[in-house]
Amino acid sequence: MSGAGNEFQVVTRKKWMARKCLSRRNRHKSESDYLNDCPDVNVDNFHSRLERICGEMSQSDYFIVAMETLQQQLDALKRPLERIVCLGLGPFTRTQQALHQTAFIVSTQRQYNIKEVFYYDPVFRDSEKELLQRLNGTVMREDCAGRHEATVPTLYYLPHCPYALMHNLLWCNWQFASLPNVLLISNSFEMVTLNRTKNTDDHISRITEHCTEIALEDDYEQHNVFNDLSLHTFPSEKLPKVEDAAFWKRCVPLKVHEDELITEVDMAALSIGS
Ligand SMILES: C[S@@+](CC[C@H](N)C(=O)[O-])C[C@H]1O[C@@H](n2cnc3c(N)ncnc32)[C@H](O)[C@@H]1O
């Protein structure tokens, strides 16, 4: 697996911080400054680099096992995958994590020959949008804040995203007929609900005991890219009956950023190379 190439990142985050004389204490608030300061990439060169990483990705054990896991769930659903929606991928020309996650989702699109692949992240630059278009993706114009309707079997890819995005996706599909169409790769529901109080009533807390969660074991060469991610599915046989009005009553949607998943560890992991 190749590391960060020259066309990818000239100034690493550590060097950038040293130049700006930033202490660890100021790292947190400097993160967006760092990302804004990153020089723009040459789209042709970066496209070639991404294709190389996709080639490596599709041969990796991580990808092969993840595809087997996804296929098992599609077999159980007895319907083919028709769409991919990717939210919160991150600035993939500027961070290693988002770059390899992009390679994962593009490789998944190719594996299943998916025609409809939608992306949204407010941080995307024009060069990142152009790259996604070149990779046969569509960048959504509007921020749906996770409220996307699964009208067909859809893989939602929300790696290390705010709690509210995952919550709102469930909110939008909170119907007996819709939830089985949602196949969600995101941070493990079991883990994100661990520290929430017992009385919390939101869609993630409510669904955890009715969904199938399969951890995607992270043995990928690059660390802090695919950690703590699981495939979540919502098979109709595990869902409460349609008549269970209390369960199917919608909570309020959450505001994104109201309840962030981002931690110091995520911040430290954001650095590209060293
Ligand atoms: C913790 S970062 C994760 C980035 C990357 N996937 C990773 O694992 O490093 C959360 C991402 O969610 C994005 N985000 C915030 N609000 C969003 C929204 N309404 N829709 C989609 N993405 C959003 C942020 O811009 C950010 O890139």
Tell me: the pLDDT tens digits for 129-162? 999 999 999 999 999 999 999 999 999 999 999 9
Say whether both 18 and 70 belong to one domain.
no
How many domains is the chain built from?
A: 2
Say whether both 62 and 198 belong to one domain.
yes
Structure tokens at 26: 């100021």
Within-domain flag for 91: yes
Least confident among 20-34, 107-121, 242-256: 20-34
Say whether both 198 and 233 belong to one domain.
yes
Within-domain flag for 262: yes
Pocket of ligand 1 from Cβ distances under 6 Å: 87-90, 95, 97-98, 101, 120-123, 143, 145, 159-162, 165, 256, 262, 266
Structure tokens at 7: 């066309």
Say whether both 13 and 78 belong to one domain.
no
Q: Is the pLDDT of residue 82 over 80?
A: yes
Say whether both 33 and 118 belong to one domain.
no
Q: Is the pLDDT of residue 105 over 80?
A: yes
Q: Are strands 138-139 and 116-120 parallel, antiparallel or unpaired?
A: parallel
Within-domain flag for 122: yes
Atom of ligand 1 nearest to the CA of 90: 27
Nearest CA to ligand 1 atom 3: 160
Within-domain flag for 1: no
The confidence score (pLDDT) of residue 71 equals 98
Say whether both 178 and 56 belong to one domain.
yes
Within-domain flag for 243: yes
**Taking Cα atoms as reference points, which of 173, 219, 207 lies closest to residue 61?**
219
Q: Is the pLDDT of residue 230 over 50?
A: yes
Q: Is the pLDDT of residue 72 over 60?
A: yes
How remote is the CA of residue 242 from the centroid of ligand 1, in Å? Answer: 33
What average pLDDT does the chain have?
Answer: 88
Q: Is the pLDDT of residue 15 over 90?
A: no
- Helix (H), strand (E) at residue 16: helix 13-19
Say whether both 77 and 204 belong to one domain.
yes
CB 112 within 8 A of CB 66: no
Q: Return the amino acid letter for 83.
A: R
Say whether both 33 and 50 belong to one domain.
no
**Cα dist. 120→43, 128, 238 in Å?**
19, 11, 30
DSSP 256: T
Cα(227)–Cα(241) distance, integer angstroms: 34
Handedness of CA 185, 187, 191, 192 (dihedral sign): negative
CATH number at residue 219: 3.40.50
Within-domain flag for 111: yes
CB 229 within 8 A of CB 216: yes
As beta bridge partners, residue 190 has: none
Say whether both 128 and 238 belong to one domain.
yes
What proportion of the chain, given as a percentage, has pLDDT over 70? Answer: 82
Say whether both 96 and 213 belong to one domain.
yes
CB 240 within 8 A of CB 81: no
Say whether both 69 and 18 belong to one domain.
no
The confidence score (pLDDT) of residue 264 equals 33
- 273 versus 27: which is more confidently predicted? 27
Within-domain flag for 216: yes
Within-domain flag for 34: yes
Locate the DSSP E strands across the chain: 83-87, 116-120, 138-139, 154-158, 182-187, 212-215, 229-233
DSSP string, 18-54: HHTT--HHHHHHHHHHHHHHSPPPPHHHHHHHHHHHH
Burial 148-179 (b: 16+ CB within 10 A, else e): bebeebbbbbbbbbbbbbbbbbbbbbbebeeb
Q: Which domain holds residue 82?
A: 46-269
Mean pLDDT for 167-196 is 95
Of 34, 36, 96, 121, best ligand 1 pocket probe by most atoms within 8 Å of the beta carbon: 121
Say whether both 107 and 240 belong to one domain.
yes
